[in-house]
Amino acid sequence: MSDQNVRNAGFTPSGIAGGSLASSLMSQEARACGGGVPSGGPTSTLQEMGARGTTHSSGYTSSGISGGSRASSTMSQEATAYGGGVPRGGTTSTVQSI
């Protein structure tokens, strides 16, 4: 995953771009969570990466998730929370797809 892909999706240093994939994801996540976007969810994770330009070291790569990375930690936590599997539309799958 590259910083440019994250920014192209609408996660920018100045915030989420209106009308973008990022704004759509934020809207869907907020509805699913009762009106707010949770810390550590897909929207906040991607926005943090877009604002800081840190995707290259996060562990989300075109070959998959790097062992020992922030991405692998997120995936492990999410799998534990969901009884052993990583859900579609969750943080790991959403961030990895972008």
Average pLDDT, the chain: 83
* Per-residue pLDDT tens over the stretch 64-97: 888 888 888 888 888 888 888 888 877 788 878 8
Residue 75, pLDDT score:
85
Sequence-ordered alpha helix ranges (H) in the chain:
3-8, 21-32, 42-52, 70-81, 91-97
Mean pLDDT, residues 29-51 taken together: 85
Give the pLDDT of residue 56. Answer: 65
Report if pTM > 0.85. no
